[in-house]
Structure formats: C-alpha cells, structure tokens
Amino acid sequence: MSSGRFFEDNNFGGRNFLADNAGHLRYLLLTFDFLNGLNFNDILSSIQLRSGNPEIPSTCLLFENARFDGRIKAFAFNADRDIASLPDFNDLTSCILMMDHDANPNKSILPLRQLGGSQMNDAVDKMLSSDGSASRDGDVLLRFTVDLFEVSLFGVDLMLMEIPVKIHTPWPFSDYSAKIRYWIQFFIDDSSKLQGFVAAWGYWIEGGILTGSIEGQLKPKVQAHIGDVESQLSTMLKELDFHRWTDVYLMPGLASVTDDYGGNVNDDCTMVLPFVD
C-alpha cells in the first residue's frame, strides 16, 4: 500500500492526518471539503510519504485550488520519503491527489497539447467555419479533470477540451466571450487500441443583455458537434497505434511518472499508456 501523512508545520510538526491508499487505487482524492473539515486548507507544510511496494511508482499531487485546479506540486515515490518543507508551496494546498501508477515498466508518456494542439485548433476552426456566428478566440485548452461531480463522474480521469470562442452579435452589440467544453474519457478496447468518447459537455457565456439569447443558440450547436469532436479524436488516436496498450490514464500538467514536477493544470494534460511489446 501507499500512504501520506500531512503536517501543519515544517519538519513534521503540529497537527497531522493520514491518507492511506491500502488498495492501490489509481486515484485517492482528498477534496477541499475534506481538508477544510479538518481545518487543513492552506496550512500544509510538510509530508511523509510511505510505499509498501517498490515496484509500484506513486505520486502525491498538491493542488492550490479546490476541485483539483490551479497550480500543482507533485512528489514521486516508490519508497519511504520525507519532505520536511514546501518552500514554494507552503500553506497553499487546498486539495490532494494520491496516485498509484501501473506497475508495468513499459509506458509511453504523452503530453496531449504538444501532441495534438495544432490539429485541435485546425479542427475547431473547420467546425466553426460552417456557421459564421462564432470564431475561435485562442488555443484549444486540454486539461486534466478528476472532479465532475455534477454529472456523476467524480474520481474519473477526463481530458477537458475547452474551446475559447467569440460569439458575433449584430450592431450595436459587442462580441461575447464564451467557452465550449467537451470532457473526453479514454479507454483501451478489446484490440488493445486507444479509444475515446465525449463523456460530458457544457459551455460558459459572458454575462450581458444577450446572454440568454446566445445560450438558446449555442446549446444545441455544442451538442450537435459531439460527433465531429469524436470523429476528429478518432483520427488523432489512430496515430497512436504503435503498441499494444494495456491501460490508459491521465495526469495534470506536463507530468512525469518517476520525477517530481510542478506547474499548472492549464499547462497540459499528460496521458500515460502502459504497453506490451
């Protein structure tokens, strides 16, 4: 098993609590509500990490914001490890993710935005060009999500594809900012190939006098484009048919399985693909 004991003060002092991943779950989520209930929000200062199986790499991820969002600080371990202080993350942690990786030493680690970001931009531009009422307003964002409680997907690793757009409105109104969101779930099929589908969708629209009218137009279009998104996703995933994959899971940011790292959930979303030759 793997576990972490989290302390209020540097050098393992003050109040503390234990998080125990006895069953080697892929993700053990310590939410903001959990930490806040222990009066542990924004006070974490040192950590003791413990591993009962050196063949299973583990990672402890600290998140600055609730719902596993914002800046991250990740510590890798496959043996007992003590972290006496958090100089650049002291008193900042609002939720924690304990993660046990696949024990298979053969893994491909793929940063998804670097892999397919430009393709996603091009595909979205093509999708929006058929309408003319909206245009892309920045790069398509690919990010890790593990808390989508609203649609009963809490604890499920998803890739959020967030599309920033400008909604074009008639004179004398200004354009409205909006975000189209598709949450993608990945899986390995019976042929050891990587597949993905849209598990949830949504949107955000800037507040204003036309917001309600824009929502009435945008909502059916977002839903109607699910097939286009899944088709483009299938095309991209075919490029990854170079191993027989045994598993697939996600990590936030530009991640490493075996090394410490930092960053932000907006940096990227990293896919881990164990395989057999």
The tens digit of pLDDT for each residue in 72-99 reads 999 999 999 999 999 999 999 999 999 9
For residues 137 and 166, membership in a common domain is answered with yes
Show the domain range for 89. 2-101
Phi, psi of 132 (to 5 degrees): 90, -10
Residues 147 and 183 in one domain: yes
Measured distance CA(264)–CA(73) in Å, rounded: 9
Residue 274 lies in a domain: no
Tell whether 121 and 31 lie within a shared domain: no
Residues 171 and 206 in one domain: yes
Residues 113 and 96 in one domain: no
pTM (two decimals):
0.95
Asked if residue 159 belongs to a domain, the reply is yes
pLDDT at residue 147, as a whole number: 97
What is the residue type of 110?
L
Domain count, the chain: 2
| pLDDT level of residue 183 (50, 70, 90 thresholds) | very high
The domain that holds 58 is classified in CATH as 2.60.20.10
Residue 87 lies in a domain: yes
In a domain, 245, yes or no: no
Which residue, 101, 122, 145, sits at the end of a domain?
101
| Position 103 pLDDT exceeds 80 | yes
Is the domain of 130 the same as that of 218? yes
For residues 119 and 57, membership in a common domain is answered with: no
Is 164 a domain residue?
A: yes
Q: How far apart are CA 169 and CA 187, in angstroms?
A: 40
Residue 123 has pLDDT above 90, yes or no: no
The burial class, CB within 10 Å (0-12 / 13-18 / 19+), for 150 is: exposed
The reply to whether 70 and 137 lie within a common domain is: no
The region that residue 160 occupies, defined by phi over 0 for left and psi between -120 and 50 for alpha, beta otherwise, is beta
Q: Quick one: 134 and 30 in the same domain?
A: no
**207-224: average pLDDT:** 94
Return the bridge partners of 99, or none.
27, 59
pLDDT of 44-69, one tens digit each? 999 999 998 999 999 999 999 999 99
Pick from 249, 230, 241: nearest CA to 186 = 249
Contacts of 104 (CB under 8 A, 6+ apart): 246, 247, 274, 275, 276
Q: Is 272 contained in some domain?
A: no
What's the rounded Cα separation, in Å, for the pair 249 and 272? 5
Query: Are 119 and 79 in a shared domain?
Result: no
SS3 state of residue 62: strand
What pLDDT band is residue 34 in, cutting at 50, 70 and 90?
very high
Q: Mark whether 65 and 174 lie in a shared domain.
A: no
Considering the domain architecture, whether residues 24 and 95 belong to the same structural domain is answered as: yes
**Hey, what amino acid is at 200?**
A
According to the model, what pLDDT value does residue 127 have?
84
Kind plus residue range of the DSSP H or E element containing 194? strand 194-205
120 vs 107: which has the higher pLDDT: 107
